[in-house]
Structure 1
């Protein structure tokens, strides 16, 4: 066991777009688990879009990271010391331990990763928070029925890719929206979507009309802005929209929200935003089902991996710039 802990802290708040200078790498002593706690040696760090908001001194659904504190994030690793009866040394676990090599948490804040069915890293992706997010938004809010048309934005990402595959398993026609031909090729060829549209294409709206000639029954949206506006115009009566994210508003000084309300009213659309942390009862159900789908080969996924905790800041910038494919992870060495 290493004698020191490596961690990345928030050094300053971004003035405009974030940079690696907003972070600082530090070393310190290994944390000691208190009674009821577990010490974990983290092997993987999840990099997710919500982290951008936590860098700002603005409270939304969660507190911002304080300057000098370890940056927030989910990790997956192995128990190296335990003072909790339900966990033993060697157990594979995941939890919100942050950007550090070692961390402690109360046992109830950790979840086991079933490495007999999925790799440990998947406990942060398809069988972790992104997968559960896809499950809650798609299965609970959209409630797709066989034969319906589902459109998923940011379809090549860790959440969108899973949401679309769940819709396919439910018997739906699934159209993805992604940025660039390479991502669209991955969405169709690797993830099994029926079609994928490049929102950067000049004829995006014409492609959309051709791809969903009968309209859209459900939108799983991670983007917002002009893309969502275009999709709203193709909604069918009694369609559902699950609002998962709004990446178009990140670092955009003049974001554009929904501008087309009439189609929502005329078509009696159900539109709902959600935060996956509000649905704790769904996590075990979703993770069990998703792990089964992965083990059976029904759900596929891609990981983009950065090596070394010190490279986590750049991994976050790459994710926000759209340079990641699938789930963005950091391998903690």
Structure 2
């Protein structure tokens, strides 16, 4: 059996099983310059929700009745490309199909010496690079500054917290459970953490940030961010990485931020990691060096079974994961 997961209906709000379908897929054979791979791990990421909408964005929308695609780790089972051999472990953005064809230029080999192959989907992959460039290039941290990170227990946020501490920042993380806030402080090394579900976020932020906020790395948007803006210091920098609080809320509106930006002369910049594609080598070298040196750690929430990919994806919007959300779909290797 070779199964694939298709988008069959575009959601207006939070996606559910009615929007996805698992169907039997046709067998494929690679042509010259291609390989046949078996998926080992699948990554689910918040940005995929945007691709379910038929709207202009930085990446094309998923097509109805076609396989969804995203980051995977896979193993080559047949090769017609010189650069790859049977047994190679590779990563790339491929279709959610158990066994699928990939062009040689759409994948790269994973170096197992750097750690678990799953790190290529997390701290040494898109989330890690997103954290690195969003903080270093847009946040421009300097020692002693206050950095606030929303979604601080997620794959991107947890890396931002750690890099911020490496660079000498005072770091405050925001997450949605006591287990996550404990993780942010005790495992990631943050100076303080706030549970937005049980605490008064405005009051807790004021207490945790007595010197105001110099850098805000925003993965969430929504009401949490509304409470951060009044605390912005002069020339603060806001890295707008995500807005998951609004992804499933059509026509979401809230308090206006403009006066806070004017009063603080703050800078806000949205970005996607692809903006830094020509600098990926730089980011990868720093992240792998820190990871090898024990200066970075990571957490993974791993589900098992191809059929459980949809539930793992839906779980992102309920805050089910700590660190990177992955699905193990094969025991090959």
**Do the two structures share a fold, i.e. TM-score over 0.5?**
yes
1:64 Cα shift?
1.3
Equivalent residue for 1:99? 96
Deviations 1:3-22 (A, max 9, x none): x4221111222243211122
Equivalent residue for 1:185? 182
Alignment of structure 1 residues 95-244 onto 2, 5 Å: 95-244=92-241
Q: Contact 1:224/1:245 (CA < 8 Å) preserved in 2?
A: yes
Match of 1:314 among 301, 311, 316: 311
Unaligned segments of structure 1, at least 5 residues: none
Cα separation, 2, equivalents of 1:45 and 1:253 = 28
Cα separation, 2, equivalents of 1:42 and 1:164 = 31
1:292 Cα shift?
2.4
Q: State yes or no: 1:48 paired with 2:45.
A: yes
Q: State yes or no: 1:90 paired with 2:87.
A: yes
Q: Contact 1:224/1:257 (CA < 8 Å) preserved in 2?
A: no
Q: What is the number of equivalent residue pairs in this alignment?
A: 330
Cα separation, 2, equivalents of 1:206 and 1:17 = 30
Equivalent residue for 2:73? 76
Deviations 1:175-227 (A, max 9, x none): 10111212111111121111111122342211111111111111110111221
Match of 1:36 among 33, 37, 55: 33
Cα separation, 2, equivalents of 1:111 and 1:165 = 27
Secondary structure of 1:226's counterpart equals helix
Q: Contact 1:44/1:332 (CA < 8 Å) preserved in 2?
A: yes
Q: Contact 1:40/1:77 (CA < 8 Å) preserved in 2?
A: yes
TM-score, with length taken from structure 1: 0.94
Alignment of structure 1 residues 291-310 onto 2, 5 Å: 291-310=288-307
Cα separation, 1, equivalents of 2:231 and 2:323 = 27
Equivalent residue for 1:290? 287
Unaligned segments of structure 2, at least 5 residues: none
Q: State yes or no: 1:8 paired with 2:20.
A: no
TM-score, with length taken from structure 2: 0.94
Name segments (4+ residues, structure 1) moved above 3 Å. none
Cα separation, 2, equivalents of 1:148 and 1:15 = 40
Q: CA RMSD in A?
A: 1.6
Alignment of structure 1 residues 260-279 onto 2, 5 Å: 260-279=257-276
Q: Contact 1:157/1:327 (CA < 8 Å) preserved in 2?
A: yes
Q: Contact 1:175/1:193 (CA < 8 Å) preserved in 2?
A: yes
1:302 Cα shift?
1.1
Deviations 1:93-125 (A, max 9, x none): 110112122222222221222210121111111
1:147 Cα shift?
1.5
